[in-house]
Amino acid sequence: MSAYMLSLFILMTSKEKKKKKKEKKKKKKKKKKEKKKKKKKKKKEKKKKKKKKKKEKKKKKKKKKKEKKKKKKKKKKEKKKKKKKKKKEKKKKKKKKKKEKKKKKKKKKKKKKKKKKKKKKKKKKKKKKKKKKKKKKKKKKKKKKKKKKKKKKKKKKKKKKKKKKKKKKKKKKKKKKKKKKKKKKKKKKKKKKKKKKKKKKKKKKKKKT
């Protein structure tokens, strides 16, 4: 009995050992899998974080660029406005100066004109004798007006004559075509008559012999 019991004990212990080994292996595998999963998760998280950071950086850069552009545009616009204002002011000043100069000139001219008016009065008295010559010039102008009216009438007549000539030419062309056809028919009849005459002449000669 002791040997049998020993054998049974050995078998039992061997089975238990095997079970324990299997369990250990399973545990190790599980641990490995868990470690791998954790690593993967960490990697993914790291990647996501990196991507996020990159995106944020890009966004920040874009924002900065846009802000810079806007600032530049604003500065340019301000500069342009300032330039325009300066130009307008300069133009206004120039205009004012010109106006002032014109006013001064006008004042001077007025003073001069007052002096000249006195001289003109003296000249008018001398020109009273030349009124007869002006009447002759008026008569010449009336003659010119009559000539212009005659020219207009002649132009109207010429236009009507041209239209009539064109119509007559078309009618003549149609008549010519009809005449040509008649002439051809007459020629054929004449040839037949000539042949008959020749036969008669030959018979007469035979009778004389």
For the chain (209 residues), the mean pLDDT of every run of 10, in chain order, is 74 83 91 93 93 93 93 93 92 90 82 59 57 56 56 57 57 56 55 54 55
What's residue 104's pLDDT? 86
Distance between first and last Cα of the chain: 191
Instruction: Give the C-alpha distances (Å, rounded to integers) separating 61 from 64, 70, 72.
Output: 5, 14, 16
What's residue 7's pLDDT? 80
What's residue 175's pLDDT? 57
Whose structure tokens read 């009809």? 178
What's residue 168's pLDDT? 56
Between CA 86 and CA 170 the distance in angstroms is 79
Whose structure tokens read 């990647």? 47
